[in-house]
Each structure stands twice: as structure tokens, then as C-alpha cells.
Amino acid sequence: MQASLFGIFLGTDSFAISHGGRLFPSLMLVTGAGFYEITAYVLVAAATERLTLWKQTGWLGGSLQRIKKTQEIKFARSELFVLVFGVLLLLAAAVIEAGGIVSA
């Protein structure tokens, strides 16, 4: 879902700082912060997928059911690596975006 929304925003150039028109797919995509930011969000979501403590029984309402306790949460080494990499990637995206804002 996140990658789809990113594609919509990229295709319509509806970011806070415009790129001057619609962007067409190219390798120039990796020079901006957006690609790294969306990749970081997807990595963090994937790494924390098993951390669900509660589930909702209904679509728009219903009650919450406890699935596991906080003490039961254990990270696998690969999940921890992906989580840390995602956070570092998000920090790198923030630095790229801040640099773009300062130079604009």
C-alpha cells in the first residue's frame, strides 16, 4: 500500500517541494529522499510484523483481543537487522530531504 501511494504521489508530483512537473520513471528517482523514505517504511513494517499484541475482531468496530504479551516479543537476528537498516535508511532520507530544503 505504501509503495502504491508513493507511486501516485510521484506520478502526480504532489510533494511539498515540487519537482517542476510529473516525474517519469527513471534512475533519477534514487537521487531524492522519497524512494529511500518509502523503502525504509516498508522495511520497518516488515521487520515489526510479528509484534502484534492485539487484534480487532470487526472491520470497523468490535472488541480487541490480546494475542500475546509484551514479554513474549522476541526479535530474530534478521528482523533486528532489517529494523535497524530501515531506521538508518529513514535517517539518510531525512538528511537528503533537509539538504534539499536548505538549498532551495
Query: 33-47 and 77-103 are packed helices; what angle lies between their axes, rounded to 10 degrees?
Result: 160
pLDDT value at position 32? 72
The more confident residue out of 45 and 22 is 45
Identify the residue whose cell numbers are 528482523: 79
pLDDT in tens, 54-85: 888 887 778 888 888 888 888 899 999 999 99
pLDDT at 7 over 80: no
CB 62 within 8 A of CB 56: yes
pLDDT in tens, 14-34: 555 555 655 555 555 666 777
* pLDDT level of residue 102 (50, 70, 90 thresholds): confident
Q: Tell me the helices (H) and strands (E) count for the chain, helix number first.
A: 3, 2
pTM for the whole thing? Answer: 0.64
Cβ-based burial of 104 (10 A; exposed 0-12, middle 13-18, buried ≥19): exposed
Mean pLDDT for 38-59 is 88
Residues 6+ apart with CB under 8 A from 19: 13, 32
Mean pLDDT for 33-40 is 85
Cβ-based burial of 93 (10 A; exposed 0-12, middle 13-18, buried ≥19): buried
